[in-house]
Amino acid sequence: MTLHRTLTTLTTLGCALTAVLATAWSAAPPPQPARPAATAHTHDGPAPGTAHGGHRTVVRTHDGLVRGTAHDGYRTFAGIPYAAPPVGRLRWAPPHPAVPWPGVRDATRPASACPQPAGEVPGTSTDEDCLHLNVTTPDDARPAHPRPVIVWLHGGGLTTGAGSSYDAHRMATRGDVVVVTVDYRLGALGFLAHRGLPGSGTFGLADQQAALRWVRARIGAFGGDPRNVTLAGESAGGYSVCAQLASPAAAGLFDRAIIQSGPCTGRPDRPFAPSSVPLATARATSAGLAAKAGCGFAHDVMACLRRVAVPRLLAAQDTDQQPAYATPLLPADPAAAIAAGHFHHVPVLIGSNHDEGNGWAAGIIQAGYRVTPGTWPDVAAAFFPAPGQAQAIVRAYPVHRTDGGPVFGAVIGDADFACPTARTDHLLAPRVPLWRYEFADEHAPPLTEGTPPFPLGAPHASELPYLFDLGGRPRDLTTAQHRLADTMIDYWTRFARTADPNGPSSPPWPRHTVLSLAPDRIVPTRTTHTRHHCAFWNALD
Protein backbone atom coordinates (compact mmCIF):
# COMPACT_ATOMS: atom_id res chain seq x y z
CA MET A 1 0.00 0.00 0.00
CA THR A 2 1.38 3.42 -0.90
CA LEU A 3 2.12 6.04 1.73
CA HIS A 4 -0.59 8.29 0.29
CA ARG A 5 -3.23 5.56 0.43
CA THR A 6 -2.22 4.40 3.90
CA LEU A 7 -2.27 7.89 5.39
CA THR A 8 -5.55 8.71 3.68
CA THR A 9 -7.04 5.52 5.15
CA LEU A 10 -5.83 6.50 8.61
CA THR A 11 -7.68 9.80 8.38
CA THR A 12 -10.97 7.91 8.34
CA LEU A 13 -10.45 7.47 12.07
CA GLY A 14 -11.54 11.13 12.23
CA CYS A 15 -13.42 11.97 15.37
CA ALA A 16 -13.68 8.27 16.16
CA LEU A 17 -10.35 8.84 17.91
CA THR A 18 -12.49 9.78 20.88
CA ALA A 19 -13.83 6.23 20.86
CA VAL A 20 -10.35 4.77 20.52
CA LEU A 21 -9.29 6.78 23.54
CA ALA A 22 -12.40 5.57 25.32
CA THR A 23 -11.17 1.98 25.36
CA ALA A 24 -8.95 3.07 28.23
CA TRP A 25 -11.99 3.80 30.42
CA SER A 26 -14.28 0.98 29.30
CA ALA A 27 -12.87 -2.00 31.16
CA ALA A 28 -16.20 -2.76 32.81
CA PRO A 29 -18.46 -5.35 31.12
CA PRO A 30 -20.97 -3.85 28.69
CA PRO A 31 -24.16 -2.84 30.49
CA GLN A 32 -27.24 -4.96 30.05
CA PRO A 33 -30.49 -3.35 28.89
CA ALA A 34 -32.77 -2.15 31.65
CA ARG A 35 -36.13 -3.90 31.61
CA PRO A 36 -39.48 -2.86 33.10
CA ALA A 37 -40.28 -4.56 36.42
CA ALA A 38 -43.86 -5.26 37.36
CA THR A 39 -45.21 -3.58 40.47
CA ALA A 40 -48.50 -2.67 42.03
CA HIS A 41 -47.68 1.06 42.14
CA THR A 42 -49.78 2.25 39.21
CA HIS A 43 -52.15 4.73 40.87
CA ASP A 44 -52.31 8.40 39.94
CA GLY A 45 -50.70 11.08 42.06
CA PRO A 46 -47.15 11.48 43.40
CA ALA A 47 -44.86 8.58 42.64
CA PRO A 48 -44.26 6.30 45.62
CA GLY A 49 -40.71 6.70 46.94
CA THR A 50 -38.08 4.26 48.00
CA ALA A 51 -36.52 5.61 51.16
CA HIS A 52 -32.84 6.37 51.18
CA GLY A 53 -32.01 9.20 53.48
CA GLY A 54 -35.42 10.68 52.65
CA HIS A 55 -34.69 10.92 48.92
CA ARG A 56 -37.03 9.51 46.27
CA THR A 57 -35.76 6.93 43.83
CA VAL A 58 -39.10 6.37 42.05
CA VAL A 59 -40.28 9.11 39.69
CA ARG A 60 -43.48 9.30 37.69
CA THR A 61 -43.09 10.33 34.04
CA HIS A 62 -45.74 10.69 31.35
CA ASP A 63 -44.70 7.25 30.06
CA GLY A 64 -44.61 5.41 33.38
CA LEU A 65 -42.80 5.07 36.68
CA VAL A 66 -39.00 4.67 36.79
CA ARG A 67 -36.89 3.48 39.70
CA GLY A 68 -33.38 4.91 39.91
CA THR A 69 -30.49 4.69 42.35
CA ALA A 70 -29.74 6.86 45.37
CA HIS A 71 -26.10 7.83 45.92
CA ASP A 72 -24.33 10.14 48.35
CA GLY A 73 -25.80 13.51 47.40
CA TYR A 74 -27.36 12.63 44.07
CA ARG A 75 -29.66 10.22 42.25
CA THR A 76 -29.28 8.54 38.88
CA PHE A 77 -31.91 7.22 36.47
CA ALA A 78 -30.46 5.22 33.59
CA GLY A 79 -31.84 3.76 30.38
CA ILE A 80 -35.07 5.80 30.16
CA PRO A 81 -36.66 5.55 26.69
CA TYR A 82 -37.27 8.90 25.02
CA ALA A 83 -38.49 7.38 21.73
CA ALA A 84 -39.78 4.08 20.42
CA PRO A 85 -37.22 1.43 19.41
CA PRO A 86 -36.18 2.21 15.79
CA VAL A 87 -36.54 -1.39 14.63
CA GLY A 88 -38.38 -3.11 11.80
CA ARG A 89 -40.30 -0.53 9.80
CA LEU A 90 -38.96 2.19 12.12
CA ARG A 91 -35.35 1.52 11.06
CA TRP A 92 -34.50 4.71 9.12
CA ALA A 93 -37.65 6.49 10.19
CA PRO A 94 -37.92 9.69 12.23
CA PRO A 95 -38.16 8.91 15.96
CA HIS A 96 -41.63 7.91 17.16
CA PRO A 97 -42.97 8.53 20.68
CA ALA A 98 -41.87 6.13 23.40
CA VAL A 99 -44.31 3.37 24.26
CA PRO A 100 -45.67 3.73 27.83
CA TRP A 101 -44.91 0.86 30.16
CA PRO A 102 -46.86 -0.67 33.06
CA GLY A 103 -45.52 -0.83 36.58
CA VAL A 104 -42.11 0.53 37.50
CA ARG A 105 -39.28 0.45 35.00
CA ASP A 106 -35.84 -0.47 36.33
CA ALA A 107 -33.64 2.58 35.74
CA THR A 108 -30.71 1.44 37.89
CA ARG A 109 -28.34 0.51 35.04
CA PRO A 110 -27.72 1.77 31.52
CA ALA A 111 -29.48 0.35 28.51
CA SER A 112 -27.62 -0.83 25.41
CA ALA A 113 -25.56 1.67 23.47
CA CYS A 114 -26.63 2.27 19.89
CA PRO A 115 -25.12 -0.14 17.34
CA GLN A 116 -21.43 0.51 16.73
CA PRO A 117 -18.12 -1.26 16.12
CA ALA A 118 -15.95 -2.39 19.02
CA GLY A 119 -14.16 0.44 20.82
CA GLU A 120 -15.89 2.47 23.47
CA VAL A 121 -18.36 -0.40 23.82
CA PRO A 122 -16.29 -3.60 24.23
CA GLY A 123 -17.44 -6.34 21.90
CA THR A 124 -19.54 -3.92 19.81
CA SER A 125 -23.23 -3.19 20.28
CA THR A 126 -25.89 -4.48 17.91
CA ASP A 127 -29.09 -3.64 19.83
CA GLU A 128 -31.20 -1.14 17.87
CA ASP A 129 -33.47 -0.59 20.89
CA CYS A 130 -31.17 2.16 22.03
CA LEU A 131 -32.99 5.50 22.13
CA HIS A 132 -32.52 6.06 25.84
CA LEU A 133 -31.17 8.75 28.11
CA ASN A 134 -29.69 8.94 31.60
CA VAL A 135 -30.51 11.52 34.27
CA THR A 136 -28.23 12.59 37.14
CA THR A 137 -29.92 14.91 39.62
CA PRO A 138 -28.89 16.44 42.96
CA ASP A 139 -30.65 14.94 45.96
CA ASP A 140 -32.61 18.05 46.79
CA ALA A 141 -33.72 18.87 43.24
CA ARG A 142 -37.52 18.88 43.24
CA PRO A 143 -40.25 20.09 40.89
CA ALA A 144 -40.94 22.94 43.31
CA HIS A 145 -37.26 24.01 43.25
CA PRO A 146 -35.98 23.02 39.78
CA ARG A 147 -32.35 23.13 38.73
CA PRO A 148 -30.83 24.13 35.37
CA VAL A 149 -30.49 21.25 32.92
CA ILE A 150 -27.45 20.30 30.83
CA VAL A 151 -28.13 17.85 27.98
CA TRP A 152 -24.88 16.15 26.91
CA LEU A 153 -24.26 14.75 23.40
CA HIS A 154 -21.33 12.34 23.29
CA GLY A 155 -18.58 12.36 20.67
CA GLY A 156 -17.23 9.53 18.55
CA GLY A 157 -17.41 10.59 14.92
CA LEU A 158 -21.21 10.02 14.87
CA THR A 159 -20.22 6.35 14.64
CA THR A 160 -19.33 5.32 18.20
CA GLY A 161 -19.97 6.43 21.77
CA ALA A 162 -22.51 6.14 24.56
CA GLY A 163 -24.14 8.55 26.96
CA SER A 164 -23.51 6.10 29.81
CA SER A 165 -19.74 6.59 29.41
CA TYR A 166 -20.11 10.02 31.04
CA ASP A 167 -20.63 9.82 34.80
CA ALA A 168 -21.90 13.33 35.55
CA HIS A 169 -22.27 13.20 39.32
CA ARG A 170 -19.50 15.75 40.00
CA MET A 171 -21.08 18.25 37.61
CA ALA A 172 -24.53 17.64 39.09
CA THR A 173 -23.49 17.97 42.74
CA ARG A 174 -20.86 20.72 42.54
CA GLY A 175 -22.77 22.73 39.95
CA ASP A 176 -26.24 21.99 41.39
CA VAL A 177 -27.62 21.09 37.95
CA VAL A 178 -29.49 18.18 36.40
CA VAL A 179 -27.44 16.41 33.71
CA VAL A 180 -28.99 14.33 30.93
CA THR A 181 -26.77 12.16 28.70
CA VAL A 182 -28.25 10.90 25.44
CA ASP A 183 -27.83 7.92 23.15
CA TYR A 184 -28.73 8.61 19.51
CA ARG A 185 -28.54 6.55 16.33
CA LEU A 186 -25.01 6.30 14.92
CA GLY A 187 -23.28 5.28 11.72
CA ALA A 188 -25.35 4.19 8.77
CA LEU A 189 -28.34 3.58 11.04
CA GLY A 190 -28.27 7.25 12.00
CA PHE A 191 -27.24 8.98 8.80
CA LEU A 192 -28.15 6.87 5.77
CA ALA A 193 -29.64 8.91 2.91
CA HIS A 194 -31.85 7.56 0.13
CA ARG A 195 -34.08 9.26 -2.40
CA GLY A 196 -37.67 9.39 -1.20
CA LEU A 197 -36.78 8.44 2.39
CA PRO A 198 -38.12 11.02 4.89
CA GLY A 199 -35.40 12.09 7.30
CA SER A 200 -32.56 11.07 4.96
CA GLY A 201 -29.14 11.78 6.35
CA THR A 202 -30.33 13.22 9.67
CA PHE A 203 -31.93 10.45 11.76
CA GLY A 204 -29.33 10.82 14.52
CA LEU A 205 -29.93 14.57 14.70
CA ALA A 206 -33.69 13.94 14.81
CA ASP A 207 -33.12 11.60 17.75
CA GLN A 208 -31.28 14.38 19.60
CA GLN A 209 -34.26 16.67 19.03
CA ALA A 210 -36.62 13.99 20.31
CA ALA A 211 -34.51 13.77 23.47
CA LEU A 212 -34.70 17.56 23.86
CA ARG A 213 -38.48 17.42 23.49
CA TRP A 214 -38.52 14.73 26.19
CA VAL A 215 -36.50 17.04 28.44
CA ARG A 216 -38.86 19.98 27.87
CA ALA A 217 -41.87 17.78 28.69
CA ARG A 218 -40.57 15.47 31.43
CA ILE A 219 -37.43 16.70 33.18
CA GLY A 220 -39.49 18.63 35.71
CA ALA A 221 -40.39 15.36 37.42
CA PHE A 222 -36.66 14.85 38.16
CA GLY A 223 -36.20 18.36 39.54
CA GLY A 224 -34.92 19.92 36.31
CA ASP A 225 -36.07 23.27 34.95
CA PRO A 226 -37.54 22.71 31.46
CA ARG A 227 -37.28 26.46 30.84
CA ASN A 228 -33.50 26.48 31.35
CA VAL A 229 -31.85 23.84 29.13
CA THR A 230 -28.26 23.96 27.89
CA LEU A 231 -27.31 21.72 24.97
CA ALA A 232 -23.67 20.64 25.22
CA GLY A 233 -21.33 18.21 23.49
CA GLU A 234 -17.76 17.40 22.53
CA SER A 235 -16.23 16.52 19.14
CA ALA A 236 -19.05 15.03 17.05
CA GLY A 237 -21.34 15.93 19.95
CA GLY A 238 -20.11 19.52 19.74
CA TYR A 239 -20.73 19.58 16.01
CA SER A 240 -24.19 18.17 16.70
CA VAL A 241 -24.82 21.25 18.85
CA CYS A 242 -23.81 23.36 15.83
CA ALA A 243 -26.26 21.43 13.66
CA GLN A 244 -29.04 21.99 16.18
CA LEU A 245 -28.22 25.71 16.26
CA ALA A 246 -28.77 25.74 12.49
CA SER A 247 -31.83 23.46 12.44
CA PRO A 248 -35.22 25.21 12.24
CA ALA A 249 -36.79 22.11 13.81
CA ALA A 250 -34.79 22.70 17.02
CA ALA A 251 -36.39 26.09 17.66
CA GLY A 252 -37.35 26.45 21.31
CA LEU A 253 -35.71 23.21 22.42
CA PHE A 254 -32.70 24.70 24.25
CA ASP A 255 -31.66 28.01 25.77
CA ARG A 256 -27.83 27.93 25.68
CA ALA A 257 -25.14 25.98 23.86
CA ILE A 258 -21.73 24.56 24.83
CA ILE A 259 -19.48 23.44 21.96
CA GLN A 260 -16.27 21.57 22.87
CA SER A 261 -13.81 20.68 20.08
CA GLY A 262 -16.55 20.56 17.45
CA PRO A 263 -16.35 23.89 15.60
CA CYS A 264 -19.32 24.77 13.41
CA THR A 265 -17.13 25.53 10.39
CA GLY A 266 -15.82 21.99 9.88
CA ARG A 267 -15.49 20.85 6.27
CA PRO A 268 -15.07 17.46 4.57
CA ASP A 269 -11.62 18.25 3.17
CA ARG A 270 -10.34 18.61 6.76
CA PRO A 271 -11.01 15.00 7.77
CA PHE A 272 -10.20 15.00 11.48
CA ALA A 273 -12.98 17.33 12.66
CA PRO A 274 -16.68 16.62 12.12
CA SER A 275 -18.58 18.28 9.29
CA SER A 276 -21.69 17.87 7.16
CA VAL A 277 -22.11 17.05 3.47
CA PRO A 278 -24.68 17.87 0.78
CA LEU A 279 -27.59 15.48 0.52
CA ALA A 280 -26.40 14.33 -2.91
CA THR A 281 -23.05 13.30 -1.42
CA ALA A 282 -24.76 11.48 1.44
CA ARG A 283 -26.95 9.60 -1.04
CA ALA A 284 -23.90 8.53 -3.03
CA THR A 285 -22.20 7.27 0.14
CA SER A 286 -25.34 5.39 1.12
CA ALA A 287 -25.59 3.83 -2.33
CA GLY A 288 -22.11 2.44 -1.76
CA LEU A 289 -23.21 1.01 1.58
CA ALA A 290 -26.26 -0.60 -0.06
CA ALA A 291 -24.00 -2.25 -2.61
CA LYS A 292 -21.63 -3.56 0.07
CA ALA A 293 -24.60 -4.90 2.04
CA GLY A 294 -25.93 -6.77 -0.99
CA CYS A 295 -28.88 -4.48 -1.67
CA GLY A 296 -27.52 -2.32 -4.48
CA PHE A 297 -29.61 -3.98 -7.19
CA ALA A 298 -32.65 -4.87 -5.11
CA HIS A 299 -36.07 -3.95 -6.48
CA ASP A 300 -36.79 -2.14 -3.19
CA VAL A 301 -33.46 -1.04 -1.77
CA MET A 302 -34.84 0.19 1.56
CA ALA A 303 -36.88 -2.95 2.15
CA CYS A 304 -33.74 -4.97 1.47
CA LEU A 305 -31.62 -2.84 3.80
CA ARG A 306 -34.18 -3.15 6.59
CA ARG A 307 -33.68 -6.92 6.46
CA VAL A 308 -29.88 -6.71 6.73
CA ALA A 309 -28.51 -7.75 10.11
CA VAL A 310 -26.81 -5.06 12.17
CA PRO A 311 -23.31 -6.65 12.11
CA ARG A 312 -23.39 -6.69 8.31
CA LEU A 313 -24.41 -3.01 8.21
CA LEU A 314 -21.60 -2.10 10.61
CA ALA A 315 -19.10 -3.93 8.41
CA ALA A 316 -20.31 -2.09 5.32
CA GLN A 317 -20.42 1.48 6.68
CA ASP A 318 -17.67 4.10 6.60
CA THR A 319 -15.67 4.69 9.78
CA ASP A 320 -17.00 8.22 10.35
CA GLN A 321 -20.40 9.59 9.41
CA GLN A 322 -21.56 13.04 8.38
CA PRO A 323 -25.06 14.49 8.57
CA ALA A 324 -26.63 15.68 5.33
CA TYR A 325 -27.68 19.25 4.68
CA ALA A 326 -30.08 20.50 2.03
CA THR A 327 -32.61 18.50 4.04
CA PRO A 328 -35.75 19.55 5.94
CA LEU A 329 -34.03 19.17 9.32
CA LEU A 330 -30.78 20.82 8.20
CA PRO A 331 -31.54 23.13 5.25
CA ALA A 332 -27.99 24.53 5.05
CA ASP A 333 -24.47 23.60 6.05
CA PRO A 334 -24.17 24.88 9.65
CA ALA A 335 -21.14 26.97 8.64
CA ALA A 336 -23.15 28.75 5.94
CA ALA A 337 -26.22 29.12 8.15
CA ILE A 338 -24.20 30.69 10.96
CA ALA A 339 -22.34 32.98 8.55
CA ALA A 340 -25.71 34.21 7.26
CA GLY A 341 -27.10 34.67 10.78
CA HIS A 342 -29.67 31.91 10.24
CA PHE A 343 -29.32 30.14 13.57
CA HIS A 344 -30.94 30.11 17.00
CA HIS A 345 -29.59 33.15 18.82
CA VAL A 346 -28.74 31.70 22.22
CA PRO A 347 -25.65 32.32 24.38
CA VAL A 348 -22.68 30.11 23.48
CA LEU A 349 -19.65 28.78 25.36
CA ILE A 350 -17.14 27.37 22.86
CA GLY A 351 -13.56 26.16 22.86
CA SER A 352 -10.91 23.69 21.82
CA ASN A 353 -7.74 22.13 23.23
CA HIS A 354 -4.23 23.48 22.80
CA ASP A 355 -2.88 20.30 21.16
CA GLU A 356 -5.96 18.83 19.46
CA GLY A 357 -4.04 17.13 16.66
CA ASN A 358 -1.29 15.42 18.64
CA GLY A 359 -3.22 12.21 19.28
CA TRP A 360 -3.78 11.61 15.58
CA ALA A 361 -0.18 12.48 14.71
CA ALA A 362 1.07 10.09 17.37
CA GLY A 363 -1.20 7.32 16.09
CA ILE A 364 0.06 7.71 12.54
CA ILE A 365 3.67 7.66 13.72
CA GLN A 366 3.00 4.55 15.81
CA ALA A 367 1.49 2.93 12.70
CA GLY A 368 4.99 3.10 11.21
CA TYR A 369 5.08 6.42 9.38
CA ARG A 370 7.71 8.72 10.81
CA VAL A 371 7.48 12.43 10.12
CA THR A 372 10.98 13.63 9.22
CA PRO A 373 12.29 16.45 7.05
CA GLY A 374 12.46 13.93 4.20
CA THR A 375 8.94 12.43 4.59
CA TRP A 376 7.11 15.57 5.66
CA PRO A 377 6.26 16.82 2.11
CA ASP A 378 4.64 13.48 1.24
CA VAL A 379 2.75 13.30 4.53
CA ALA A 380 1.42 16.84 4.06
CA ALA A 381 0.39 16.06 0.49
CA ALA A 382 -1.54 12.99 1.65
CA PHE A 383 -3.82 15.18 3.75
CA PHE A 384 -3.78 18.37 1.66
CA PRO A 385 -3.69 17.22 -1.97
CA ALA A 386 -4.91 20.48 -3.53
CA PRO A 387 -2.22 22.01 -5.77
CA GLY A 388 0.27 24.09 -3.84
CA GLN A 389 -1.23 23.47 -0.39
CA ALA A 390 1.31 20.92 0.84
CA GLN A 391 4.25 23.06 -0.21
CA ALA A 392 2.80 26.07 1.61
CA ILE A 393 2.19 23.99 4.74
CA VAL A 394 5.72 22.60 4.74
CA ARG A 395 7.08 26.16 4.53
CA ALA A 396 4.79 27.48 7.30
CA TYR A 397 5.36 24.44 9.54
CA PRO A 398 8.94 23.31 8.94
CA VAL A 399 10.02 19.96 10.33
CA HIS A 400 13.48 19.65 11.79
CA ARG A 401 15.28 16.52 12.82
CA THR A 402 13.39 15.63 16.00
CA ASP A 403 10.11 17.57 16.01
CA GLY A 404 8.11 15.92 13.22
CA GLY A 405 5.32 14.57 15.42
CA PRO A 406 4.48 17.80 17.23
CA VAL A 407 4.65 19.78 13.97
CA PHE A 408 2.26 17.35 12.28
CA GLY A 409 0.00 17.57 15.34
CA ALA A 410 0.06 21.36 15.16
CA VAL A 411 -1.03 21.27 11.51
CA ILE A 412 -3.97 18.97 12.32
CA GLY A 413 -4.91 20.99 15.39
CA ASP A 414 -4.74 24.36 13.65
CA ALA A 415 -6.45 23.30 10.41
CA ASP A 416 -9.25 21.26 11.98
CA PHE A 417 -9.87 22.76 15.42
CA ALA A 418 -8.11 25.91 16.65
CA CYS A 419 -8.64 28.05 13.56
CA PRO A 420 -12.17 26.78 12.76
CA THR A 421 -13.07 27.50 16.40
CA ALA A 422 -11.71 31.04 15.99
CA ARG A 423 -13.77 31.36 12.78
CA THR A 424 -16.90 30.15 14.57
CA ASP A 425 -16.23 32.67 17.34
CA HIS A 426 -15.88 35.42 14.72
CA LEU A 427 -19.24 34.50 13.18
CA LEU A 428 -21.20 34.05 16.40
CA ALA A 429 -19.83 36.78 18.69
CA PRO A 430 -21.42 39.77 16.91
CA ARG A 431 -24.86 38.18 17.27
CA VAL A 432 -24.94 36.32 20.61
CA PRO A 433 -23.21 36.45 24.00
CA LEU A 434 -20.16 34.20 23.61
CA TRP A 435 -17.36 32.96 25.84
CA ARG A 436 -14.39 31.12 24.37
CA TYR A 437 -11.77 28.96 26.09
CA GLU A 438 -8.68 26.95 25.24
CA PHE A 439 -7.92 23.93 27.43
CA ALA A 440 -4.14 24.05 27.84
CA ASP A 441 -3.04 21.59 30.53
CA GLU A 442 0.15 20.27 28.94
CA HIS A 443 0.25 17.52 31.58
CA ALA A 444 -3.34 16.34 31.12
CA PRO A 445 -3.60 12.66 32.11
CA PRO A 446 -3.39 10.36 29.07
CA LEU A 447 -6.55 8.65 27.86
CA THR A 448 -4.67 5.66 26.47
CA GLU A 449 -2.19 3.23 27.92
CA GLY A 450 1.38 3.02 26.73
CA THR A 451 3.98 5.64 25.93
CA PRO A 452 3.32 7.94 22.96
CA PRO A 453 6.17 8.78 20.56
CA PHE A 454 6.20 12.37 21.84
CA PRO A 455 4.48 14.29 24.67
CA LEU A 456 0.84 14.87 23.69
CA GLY A 457 0.16 17.95 25.81
CA ALA A 458 -3.58 18.73 25.76
CA PRO A 459 -4.89 16.63 22.84
CA HIS A 460 -8.41 15.97 21.59
CA ALA A 461 -10.80 14.87 24.37
CA SER A 462 -8.26 15.49 27.17
CA GLU A 463 -10.58 18.01 28.87
CA LEU A 464 -13.31 15.41 29.38
CA PRO A 465 -11.93 13.85 32.62
CA TYR A 466 -12.04 17.33 34.17
CA LEU A 467 -15.82 17.44 33.69
CA PHE A 468 -16.87 13.78 33.96
CA ASP A 469 -15.76 10.50 35.49
CA LEU A 470 -15.38 8.61 32.24
CA GLY A 471 -16.78 5.13 32.44
CA GLY A 472 -17.45 5.78 36.12
CA ARG A 473 -13.75 5.80 36.95
CA PRO A 474 -12.42 8.51 39.28
CA ARG A 475 -9.94 10.87 37.73
CA ASP A 476 -6.20 10.45 38.23
CA LEU A 477 -5.47 14.14 38.72
CA THR A 478 -3.01 16.11 40.78
CA THR A 479 -4.21 18.53 43.42
CA ALA A 480 -3.75 21.44 41.02
CA GLN A 481 -5.63 19.57 38.29
CA HIS A 482 -8.47 18.86 40.71
CA ARG A 483 -8.72 22.60 41.35
CA LEU A 484 -8.83 23.23 37.59
CA ALA A 485 -11.55 20.60 37.19
CA ASP A 486 -13.64 22.25 39.89
CA THR A 487 -13.15 25.64 38.27
CA MET A 488 -14.18 24.33 34.87
CA ILE A 489 -17.32 22.74 36.33
CA ASP A 490 -18.07 26.07 38.03
CA TYR A 491 -17.72 27.94 34.73
CA TRP A 492 -19.81 25.43 32.76
CA THR A 493 -22.64 25.20 35.28
CA ARG A 494 -22.83 28.94 35.98
CA PHE A 495 -23.13 29.44 32.24
CA ALA A 496 -25.97 26.91 32.24
CA ARG A 497 -27.66 28.74 35.10
CA THR A 498 -27.29 32.38 34.03
CA ALA A 499 -25.74 32.45 30.53
CA ASP A 500 -22.59 33.94 32.10
CA PRO A 501 -19.75 31.72 33.42
CA ASN A 502 -18.40 34.37 35.75
CA GLY A 503 -18.74 34.20 39.52
CA PRO A 504 -16.98 35.26 42.69
CA SER A 505 -15.11 31.98 43.19
CA SER A 506 -13.37 31.88 39.77
CA PRO A 507 -10.94 34.08 37.86
CA PRO A 508 -12.70 36.63 35.61
CA TRP A 509 -13.62 35.47 32.10
CA PRO A 510 -14.24 38.58 30.00
CA ARG A 511 -16.16 38.32 26.77
CA HIS A 512 -14.18 38.87 23.56
CA THR A 513 -11.20 37.06 25.05
CA VAL A 514 -9.91 33.50 25.00
CA LEU A 515 -9.58 32.00 28.48
CA SER A 516 -6.57 29.69 28.75
CA LEU A 517 -7.36 26.86 31.17
CA ALA A 518 -4.35 25.21 32.86
CA PRO A 519 -3.60 24.21 36.46
CA ASP A 520 -1.00 26.91 36.96
CA ARG A 521 -2.78 29.66 35.06
CA ILE A 522 -6.30 30.68 34.08
CA VAL A 523 -5.57 33.69 31.95
CA PRO A 524 -7.75 35.66 29.52
CA THR A 525 -6.01 36.87 26.39
CA ARG A 526 -7.16 38.91 23.41
CA THR A 527 -5.73 36.42 20.92
CA THR A 528 -5.11 32.71 20.76
CA HIS A 529 -1.66 31.36 21.49
CA THR A 530 0.90 32.37 18.89
CA ARG A 531 1.46 28.73 17.91
CA HIS A 532 -1.87 28.79 16.05
CA HIS A 533 -1.23 29.97 12.49
CA CYS A 534 -4.79 31.06 11.75
CA ALA A 535 -3.76 33.89 9.43
CA PHE A 536 -1.98 31.27 7.34
CA TRP A 537 -5.04 29.01 7.15
CA ASN A 538 -7.34 31.90 6.35
CA ALA A 539 -5.07 32.85 3.46
CA LEU A 540 -4.73 29.22 2.32
CA ASP A 541 -8.52 28.80 2.22
**Distance from C-alpha of 226 to C-alpha of 207, rounded to nearest angstrom:** 18
Q: What pLDDT shows up at residue 475?
A: 75
CB 181 within 8 A of CB 187: no
Residue 17: is its pLDDT beyond 80? Answer: no
Lowest mean pLDDT among 105-114, 209-218, 302-311, 532-541: 532-541
Residue 45: is its pLDDT beyond 90? Answer: no
Averaged pLDDT score across all residues of the chain: 89
**Residue percentage of the chain with pLDDT more than 70:** 89
Sequence-distant (≥ 6) Cβ neighbours of residue 454 within 8 angstroms: 358, 362, 365, 405, 406
Average pLDDT on 32-49 reads 38
* Catalytic residue of the set 235, 275, 286, 516: 235
Residue 13: is its pLDDT beyond 60? Answer: no
Q: What pLDDT shows up at residue 449?
A: 81
Could you tell me whether strands 147-153 and 348-353 are parallel, antiparallel, or unpaired per DSSP bridges? unpaired
* Catalytic residue of the set 356, 438, 516, 532: 356
Q: Per-residue b/e over 112-121, b at no fewer than 16 CB within 10 Å?
A: bbbbbbebbb
Q: What pLDDT shows up at residue 447?
A: 84
The closest of 230, 234, 188, 182 to 207, measured between CA atoms, is: 182
**pLDDT tens per residue, range 208-238:** 999 999 999 999 999 999 999 999 999 999 9
460 is an active site residue? yes
- Write the secondary structure of 1-54 as one string of H (helix), E (strand) and C (coil): CCHHHHHHHHHCCHHHHHHHHHHHHCCCCCCCCCCEECCCCCCCCCCCCCCCCC
Q: What pLDDT shows up at residue 43?
A: 33
Q: Per-residue b/e over 298-323, b at no fewer than 16 CB within 10 Å?
A: eeebbebbbebebeebbebbbbbbbb
Average pLDDT on 489-493 reads 98
Average pLDDT on 358-377 reads 94
492 vs 230, 241, 260, 426, 437, CA distance in Å?
Answer: 10, 15, 11, 21, 11
Lowest mean pLDDT among 66-70, 188-192, 400-404, 470-474: 470-474
Residue 79: is its pLDDT beyond 50? Answer: yes
Q: Which residue has the higher pLDDT, 180 or 56?
A: 180
pTM: 0.93
Q: What pLDDT shows up at residue 46?
A: 40
Average pLDDT on 469-489 reads 91
Q: What pLDDT shows up at residue 55?
A: 56
Q: What pLDDT shows up at residue 532?
A: 78
* Catalytic residue of the set 55, 154, 460, 533: 460
Lowest mean pLDDT among 12-21, 408-417, 504-513: 12-21
Alpha helices for 176-325 (secondary structure H): 187-191, 203-218, 236-246, 279-292, 301-307, 310-316
Average pLDDT on 282-287 reads 95
